[in-house]
Amino acid sequence: VWFHLIYTWNLAARLASAVNLRTNLFGKSIDCFYVQFANHKGDEDGDNSWPKHIYANTFDPLICPHLVLAVVVLCDSGGLGASDAERIFDVSTAGDIFTSWLVTMMNSLSDDELLRMDISRGDLGGQSGRKGSTTYLSSFESTNITALFQRAGWSIGAVSERYISWTPGGDQTVGRLACGLVPDNTNFAALPPHFVPGEEILTPAEWKSLFSGYDNYPYGFQSILPLLLASAVYHSEWLKTNLPQSCALFNTIFWIEDYPTRLRSKVKVGLFHDAESGMTATGVPHHVHVMQSILNLEVKINEMKTSIETLNNHHSVIEC
């Protein structure tokens, strides 16, 4: 349920698309990963199926797409990537489980709670994540509406499609907005929890031990595992506090052998650029860079004021 809520929203996708996600649709990008469907309801030939960039939200683990996928993969018992084109979930039951949960949750709300949220019991359904996401994303000035239409798989018109091509930059900004980062402060340029490239994090045997389906994963999915592992390590305290004790994660090798403690010092986060890892934030609008420059200037001005005050005080002491 957690996964489907987060991924229908971030992908601006139909529930059926989230349910049918396969490991061979994932790939690594600069500071995130992406999902690229082969086709969809509005593009059965796949001519206009573009990568959808999925970013980490280091400030709100509950809605972080990297973290929820990390939990799903760490809890996998070896079925992920095996046969049936690497489906992540059992397609015969996943959609029903989600819709059943949604109905139960809506029925559990009192009339007063529904009134405060300004919704009726029948307002939310399997496609609400997609509808809510596109409505939310269209409310930002930073959103390129063409990129939003392309992410949602909507036509921009026959003429426009001849002249306006998909570009990664527009979707990257939409991806940052979709994961819950807000463009009115420099946190919008957050880097995901990650390890320094080239540094040995785990031995090959340990990767296979942690991720039981490792040998079955396509290369693209294997390439995003360091990001997923780093996210789980970084948010381990949140997971311990907020997941039920019955969660399968607490019975995995990751938890039993205390990988969070072992790897925590190797996990890096930051804003804009990390010199050690070489990772640079993508999809960041120009105005966010301007905000950072202003903040840096403010720091320098304050340092200058402190220096002047120190000199003045020193001069007063000499005169006395």
Question: What tens digit of pLDDT does each residue of 263-303 get?
Answer: 999 999 999 999 999 999 999 999 999 999 998 898 899 98
Give per-residue burial for 256-278: e unless 16+ CB within 10 Å, then b. eeebbeebeeebbebbbebeebe
Pairing of strands 52-54, 190-194: unpaired
Q: What is the mean pLDDT of residues 208-236?
A: 94
Question: Lowest-pLDDT range, 56-65, 118-127, 167-176, 214-223?
Answer: 118-127
Dihedral sign (CA 90, 92, 96, 97) = negative
Mean model confidence pLDDT for the chain: 88
Determine if the pTM surpasses 0.85: yes
Can you tell me the distance from the alpha carbon of 87 to that of 20, in angstroms, rounded to the nearest whole number?
Answer: 6
CB 186 within 8 A of CB 175: no
CB 65 within 8 A of CB 6: yes
Can you tell me the distance from the alpha carbon of 266 to that of 263, in angstroms, rounded to the nearest whole number?
Answer: 5
Can you tell me the distance from the alpha carbon of 192 to that of 231, in angstroms, rounded to the nearest whole number?
Answer: 7
Question: Lowest-pLDDT range, 53-62, 88-97, 254-263, 285-294?
Answer: 88-97
Residue among 97, 96, 121 nearest 109 (CA): 121
Report residue 280 CA to chain centroid gap.
Answer: 16
pLDDT at 127: 80
pLDDT at 33: 97
